[in-house]
Every structure is written in C-alpha cells, then in structure tokens.
Amino acid sequence: EREEIAKRGRDKVFKEHTLLQRGEILGNILEDIINQASQQDVNGSVEGNEDNEEGA
C-alpha cells in the first residue's frame, strides 16, 4: 500500500511541476537536511565534550 501511495505522489508531482520546480523543491529539502544535521552536530559536539571532560 505504501508503494502505491508513493507512486501516486510521484506521478502527481511529475504532472503538476516542471523539472525546474522539482529541482528547487529538492534543493530546499537538502538545505533543510543540512541545516538540521549541522545543528545536531554542534549540539552533539558540545554534549560530547562535556561527557569527555567528566570521564577525565
């Protein structure tokens, strides 16, 4: 059932959006992912340093 839903979604996107629009959407998604990963990396590094200092 998930595959059918995904197929319908893909078909709808291909019909309703140009190649340029799809590229912009993907670019925005990737930018959001990178920003979230960067924030988690910064937060994880700070927490990781505190853990290392406690063990020393």
Q: What is the residue extent of each domain of the chain?
A: 1-41
DSSP state, 17?
A: S
- 27 and 35 Cβ atoms separated by less than 8 Å: no
| Count of beta carbons in the 10 Å neighbourhood of residue 47 | 10
Q: Is the pLDDT of residue 17 over 80?
A: yes
Mean pLDDT of 23-46: 89
Q: Is the pLDDT of residue 20 over 70?
A: yes
| Count of beta carbons in the 10 Å neighbourhood of residue 27 | 10
- 12 and 4 Cβ atoms separated by less than 8 Å: no
Reported as a pLDDT band with limits 50, 70 and 90, residue 56 is: very low
Q: Is the pLDDT of residue 52 over 70?
A: no
Q: Is the pLDDT of residue 23 over 50?
A: yes
Reported as a pLDDT band with limits 50, 70 and 90, residue 37 is: very high
